[in-house]
Chains A and B, each alone.
Chain A
Amino acid sequence: MCMLSIATLVSAGLHPVSGEPRHCRNDSLAMTLGLQLAESIGAEIKVLHAGDENNPALPNYLALNAKKIDVISVASGANIVDSLATNLANTELILTGTRAEDGEDSGLLPYLLAAKLNIPLVANALAIKPIENGIEILQFLPKGKRRSVTVKLPAVVVVHPLAPIELRFAFAQQVSGQIVAHTAQNQSKTSSSKQIQWQIQAAINKPKKLKAQENKSGHERMLAYIASENKGGAVVNEGSSVEKAQVILSYLREHHLINF
């Protein structure tokens, strides 16, 4: 097993209720997973943040045991994908959280980064294990399913919010850790990808559902309202218990809900 170089990206988060700056939970999970992995195989790890080195959220990551945070200073509004890509060109494993909490929260950054560096990406990771020329990843799927995949390195891995990782804060580490600022080498004001103009408002109202327009008369609407109460599926009244059990079994089979 050769020495891996690992980088984890951390962003500034917001407290969901007070809006105070703090660590982003998803990124903290990715960072802790990276720190654990690095320790178990003796790899080198870099914790990277693109933005302002004085961000009050960053010391939280030190408290979570990042010994040192490298900050690439980019002006707000500049394209961070390019600066990160130049910085990460020789890194074999890049770990990120699923969605950031402060800005757009789009979950796009790891994908843009992987596309820029032209390396593979695996999302929804719950656990990572190094193997012969690559890593094995346990992926989250809904409905109690899990999937194991392998990927060749270098790669970007996006850690799922349900990853079984415990976060431990220690104030001593926050004091002893350091934050080091670097100037970005490749700062481009113009973003490589399409820029969208967002108009931001406080989220007060519930989002409106898209509904089809119906031009029905009042009488029709009332009928539809009353009649819609009358839905329901097949009803089996007759037969012995054994026959009724067979009906259930064949329903489950017909809809592929069981596999025997």
Chain B
Amino acid sequence: MTDNHNNRINPRRPFKGTASGLNRIVLTTAPRLNEAPHAKPIRNSQKNNAEQASILVISHSDRGMLDDHARQTVSAAAILANEATNITVVALILGDLRENIASCGADKVIVMPEFSFEKFQPDLELANITAVIERLNPIKILMPDNFIGDGDLGRRLIASQHTKTAATHVIEIDSLHAASPHAAGRKIAFTELPHIILLAADAADTNLPFIGSATIQPTIQSSTQVENTNNQQKSVSPYQNLGLKTIASEQVALEEADLIVSAGNGVSNVETFERLALALDAAIGASRVAVDDGKFSRDKQIGASGKTVTASTYIAIGISGAVQHLQGIKDCRHVIAINRDNSAPIVKRADLSIIGDAEAIMQALINAVAEAKSLSLQEAACACYLLLR
């Protein structure tokens, strides 16, 4: 009630007479910028607790979180579910999950932490998701069509489910249709919304007017299932993992790098900056001004007229955050800014902003990293020693 009262516009506010009648002047209070956004309502999905139709989203997590592509896929499912009543959105997450995914509209969450994307075990994964699908009998299945295992697993699922319609690399979706590129992207092919949908990146918006309830479902059933198949398949699985390796950051293309430190006009000492990159094993990027100054080569430039990067972590040092620069980092998940001006535009974009002199903070960070590394080395050595004794 009080809330309503505050939002009410005075009906007797001043007016101007114009040819078309009275033109009331809106003199409400200016929007309060620091006001916390209204909490979004939970989408009303549980009308009754009886058997409910569901849309299933299957995705791998990356270090305990869903990446943007996976979040878009969950949101797409939530938007489709919202148009009908009585449909729940179930998210089946392969790999561990340490964040709450209610904001992208998941109602129920099943986590199978043993299936990290880093390990190649498609036969076991397929057996387990098939078991979940049989149990839930979802009306639609959505997966992100990506390279961290879901594109692969999704196609295996499609090949194993002969009776169900499917579409891959779906770039446009609504409640009735799906569309995929055809003939190398020169044409577009529409179809009725199929049963299994592998969604391309950026096909759905993650901004929802509601949230899901995101209750974590117990996974007893699934883990016993895993053990069963494990026992059966240990000897017969045709696949074997020999391990994962990460290419040294200097050799990775900037577009592919996972951790980037980037220098702008506020970095005076390039040598310290390069030592920091080495300490963090990060790839090096730069703003246009830093490149124009000759501090870095042109291929390091990030932004509208440079490269677009998708690193999970982007550390912007002495970069003001001009729109042209921000365009290049729109897909970065964690942005950390070091800047001496707390009103620089980068501060609005960054998840963490450290206000202070770049040189001093870089020096301190190099020391802190060295210390942390030696500590974890000591710990490892200790553990080794204890094991050997």
* A interface, CB within 8 angstroms of B: 13-14, 16, 19, 101-108, 111-112, 114-115, 120-124, 136, 139-152, 155, 192-194, 196-203, 207-214, 219, 223, 226-227, 229-237, 240-242, 244-249, 251-252, 255-258, 260
Contact = CB atoms under 8 A, between A and B. Distances in A.
B203 A207 contact: yes
Contacts of A233: 335, 350-353
A145 B208 CA distance: 33
A154 to B, nearest CB: 10
A199 B148 contact: no
B252 to A, nearest CB: 4
A115 B249 contact: no
B190 A150 contact: no
Contacts of B148: 141-142
B166 interface: yes
Nearest to A191: B162
Given A144-B246, A210-B79, 12 more contacts: A19-B183, A104-B180, A121-B122, A136-B242, A146-B247, A200-B190, A203-B186, A210-B172, A227-B31, A244-B356, A245-B365, A258-B259
Contacts of A141: 117-118, 147-148, 244
Nearest to B363: A241
Interface residues of B, number: 113
9 contacts: A108-B158, A120-B238, A193-B162, A194-B163, A197-B192, A208-B172, A209-B205, A212-B79, A232-B350
B348 A230 contact: yes
B364 A242 contact: yes
B282 to A, nearest CB: 10
Nearest to B64: A256
Interface of B, secondary structure class, is: mixed
B33 interface: yes
Given A122-B239, A223-B31, A144 B194 contact: no
Contact of B169 (A103, A107, A111, A194): A107
A208 B347 CA distance: 31
A212 B208 contact: yes
Given A201-B187, A245-B364, A103 B182 contact: yes
B209 interface: yes
Interface of A, secondary structure class, is: mixed
B184 A108 contact: no
A233 B352 CA distance: 5
Interface centre among A124, A139, A140, A193 (most CB of B within 10 A): A193
A235 B342 contact: yes
Nearest to B256: A144
Interface string B95-137: 0000000000000000000000110101100000000000000
A146 B244 contact: yes
A205 to B, nearest CB: 8
A65 B169 CA distance: 32
A226 B206 CA distance: 19
B120 A229 contact: no
Contacts of A232: 347-350, 353
A149 B119 CA distance: 9
Given A136-B242, A143-B256, A199 B365 contact: no
B31 A226 contact: yes
A243 B315 CA distance: 17
B205 A248 contact: no
A219 B24 CA distance: 14
Contacts of A136: 242
B165 A196 contact: yes
Contacts of B186: 14, 16, 19, 202-203
Given A241-B356, A245-B364, A209 B182 contact: no
Given A207-B179, A235-B355, A241-B357, A199 B189 contact: yes
Nearest to B242: A148
Contact of B164 (A107, A148, A194, A247): A194
A194 B31 contact: no
A247 B169 contact: no
A108 B188 contact: no
The 7 A-B residue pairs whose C-beta atoms are closest, nearest first, are: A245-B364, A233-B351, A148-B242, A207-B172, A144-B252, A115-B159, A143-B258
Nearest to B79: A212
B173 interface: yes
B354 interface: yes
Contacts of B122: 121
A142 B62 CA distance: 11
Given A111-B156, A115-B159, A149-B239, A247 B280 contact: no
A163 to B, nearest CB: 14
Nearest to B350: A233
A199 B190 contact: yes
Given A201-B190, A244-B356, A101 B205 contact: no
Nearest to A238: B355
Contacts of B351: 233-234, 251
Contacts of B155: 107-108, 111, 123
B35 interface: yes
